[in-house]
Structure 1
């Protein structure tokens, strides 16, 4: 919606919005997975919970 209407890009803005949303979502998921896996590894070594 931002690219299509606010920036006035129309239909190409819809597609760029999809690309941008996917990239941002992937980066957030990757960062969360890194933090979670580090916590799991630490918990396994120390016997604590995450």
Structure 2
């Protein structure tokens, strides 16, 4: 299970660190949940093969 989620976690860490609000989140001590959900969905969509590929 850990191996399956490792690419997702790595991608989330990278995207969060590159976000313009990262410094603010460090000061506040938390990352908005909605942002993490959006990044997770974006990553999932990127990994899902297109259904109509030939």
Q: TM-score, normalised by structure 2?
A: 0.38
Structure with the greater relative contact order (CA < 8 A, sep ≥ 6): 1 or 2? Answer: 2
Q: TM-score, normalised by structure 1?
A: 0.40
* Greater per-residue helix proportion: 1
